[in-house]
Structure 1
Amino acid sequence: MLTKYLAFFLAFLVLANAHLPAAQWQYQGFQDDGCKTPMQEANGTAPQDCHKTGVQLQSYRFTSSTDAETNMTFGFRAYNGEECLYLSVIDDGKDGSCQNLTFDSINIFEFME
């Protein structure tokens, strides 16, 4: 009988501590319009500070998932200028389709939906 209760208690602990996967993001930067020639690719589960692309990119794809428990997700900002100076676009990552845009730097930020 004790074994039965112990098994139930352990199962309860596992379920209580289970956590759905955290929010994730994926970014691709391309040297041409239409997302044909990839130059950069990154993914992660944490925000990223300003990052210079190294060359001026012409298009991108960005997708983000949402953490079911916290409603935390990620957004993408693209800038003209290498130090994230002139904001060009904010993308919430829900569409994920190719976006034509000339940019020199990016950052990934987190927010609550």
Structure 2
Amino acid sequence: MSASVESTVCDSFGNPVDIMESRAEEAARLLSALGQTKRLMVLCRLVDNEMSVGALAEAVGLGQSALSQHLARLRDLGIVATRREAQTIYYRLASDNARRLIGLLYELYCAPAAQKTG
């Protein structure tokens, strides 16, 4: 009679390492998308509401061509989604993980308390 004992390797927080490894690529893609200043500003603008390409371009100070390249990358990564109304395309944040991460970044860098301690 032999019992099979599975040993799971965990990190210092008790999380299984194999789960972390399987999600590391996804996390790296999100962090890479946030690592470019203008893309980060686009995502910050989309946290609370959707915006048209024209409104986004004006809000972040980019031409529509440059903005379209950033939005295409974010769309390919599944971070933003679109909807069309007549000739206007609206973008919205589609990733809950991105929304949560941007919220944390806001708390750390943009909230009034963060500006005092910065």
TM-score by length of 2: 0.30
Structure with greater helix share of residues: 2
Bigger relative contact order, structure 1 or 2 (CA pairs below 8 A, ≥6 apart): 1
Structure with greater strand share of residues: 1
TM-score by length of 1: 0.31
